[in-house]
Amino acid sequence: MKVGIPEPLRGYTKSLVVEATGNTVGALLDDLDRRFPGIRFRIADEQGQLRRHLRIFINQKRARSLDTRLAPDDEVQILQALSGG
């Protein structure tokens, strides 16, 4: 499936969009980490939770956990959340 990569993580992928596989968000991150070592840690923490400053959307719907199911034709977008004050 196609995975959109935000600017802060493109140092790992060198690409705006990459191909990856997995039947859950966690499996997808594992596949990305095999191909781009270190990227998973930037997206999920040691407790298996998505990091607060990142959002993952599947077909434009927000995924809230690593257990979220994926289909082979899904489009996944990883976004960096912005905050201000």
Q: Write 44-50 long-range contacts (CB < 8 A, 24+).
A: 50/25
Q: Give mean pLDDT, residues 16-25.
A: 97
Pairing label, strands 61-63, 75-80? unpaired
> For residue 45, what pLDDT is reported?
92
Checking if the pLDDT of 47 tops 60, the result is yes
Question: Would strands 61-63 and 2-4 be described as parallel, antiparallel, or unpaired?
Answer: unpaired
pTM score above 0.85: yes
Q: What is the pLDDT of residues 55-81, one digit of tens each?
A: 999 999 999 999 999 999 999 999 987
Name the superfamily (CATH) of residues 2-80: Beta-grasp domain (3.10.20.30)
C-alpha to C-alpha distance for 1 and 52, rounded to whole angstroms: 24
